[in-house]
């Protein structure tokens, strides 16, 4: 696994959405496999004593504008979900369940959920929304709704979140490659250079 790119992301992070549209090209360009790791950013913030960007009095409004500006910079459609931050526990669990069913369709589900939230502007927090996204990529919606309530899936999300914390994740997205970690969508350019040059 040492040559894989590990991409820790959170559905409630607009920069994770933006980076999710770029990281596959990056991995492909360098012939690296890509491991998608949905985790709960709230647990990480609690650990670090920080908050969502949006919770800060001045950084909040700036970040709102910055996110819209950066999405447009990459020619990505972007709308704010009706409720923000998003409760993403169901979405993240659905992805972890899907990863055990089909690698390809689990990635399709990640995109479907991100698109539902930030392109369509739908609330993806509910079982219904998550099931609908899962159905759109070929999963049985009833199965998904039932499976994500299983203790084993809940434990999996806790394990990925614990792994994120133990590996020094304090925000999203967070990209690990070749023993280095890189925080943020903007650092994907540095990841690209780092892999190209074999570090520096």
Q: Which residues form the interface with a second copy (CB under 8 A)?
A: 47-50, 56-59, 61-62, 65-66, 69-70, 72-73, 168-171, 180-184, 186-187, 190, 193-194, 200
- The CB-of-48 to a second copy minimum distance in angstroms stands at 5
Name which of 66 and 132 has its Cβ closer to a second copy.
Answer: 66
- The CB-of-26 to a second copy minimum distance in angstroms stands at 16
195 vs 74, 170, 191, 200, CA distance in Å? 22, 23, 6, 10
How far apart (Å, rounded) are the C-alpha atoms in residues 172 and 160?
13
Q: Both tokens of residue 69?
A: 């500006």
- The CB-of-168 to a second copy minimum distance in angstroms stands at 5
Name which of 151 and 200 has its Cβ closer to a second copy.
Answer: 200
Name which of 116 and 191 has its Cβ closer to a second copy.
Answer: 191
- The CB-of-137 to a second copy minimum distance in angstroms stands at 32
How far apart (Å, rounded) are the C-alpha atoms in residues 193 and 200?
9
Name which of 52 and 181 has its Cβ closer to a second copy.
Answer: 181
Name which of 2 and 200 has its Cβ closer to a second copy.
Answer: 200
How far apart (Å, rounded) are the C-alpha atoms in residues 17 and 12?
9
**3-class DSSP state of 174:** strand
- The CB-of-144 to a second copy minimum distance in angstroms stands at 33
**Residue 180 main-chain phi, psi, to 5 deg:** -115, 160
116 vs 11, 50, 131, 140, CA distance in Å? 11, 27, 12, 18
**3-class DSSP state of 17:** helix
């Amino acid at each position: 696994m040492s040559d894989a790119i590990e991409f820790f992301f959170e559905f409630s992070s607009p920069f994770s959405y933006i980076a999710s549209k770029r990281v596959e090209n990056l991995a492909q360009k360098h012939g690296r496999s890509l491991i998608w790791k949905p985790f709960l950013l709230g647990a990480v913030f609690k650990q670090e004593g920080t908050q969502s960007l949006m919770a800060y009095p001045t950084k909040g409004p700036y970040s709102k504008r910055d996110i819209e500006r950066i999405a447009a910079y990459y020619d990505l459609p972007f709308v704010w979900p009706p409720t923000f931050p998003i409760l993403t526990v169901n979405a993240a669990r659905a992805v972890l369940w899907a990863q055990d069913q089909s690698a390809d369709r689990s990635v399709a589900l990640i995109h479907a959920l991100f698109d539902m939230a930030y392109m369509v502007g739908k609330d993806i927090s509910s079982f219904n929304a998550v099931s609908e996204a899962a159905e759109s990529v070929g999963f049985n919606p009833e199965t998904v709704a039932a499976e994500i309530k299983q203790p084993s899936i809940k434990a999996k999300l806790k394990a990925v979140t614990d792994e994120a914390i133990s590996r020094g994740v304090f925000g999203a997205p967070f990209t690990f490659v070749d023993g280095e970690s890189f925080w943020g969508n903007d650092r994907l350019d540095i990841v690209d250079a780092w892999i190209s040059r074999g570090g520096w």
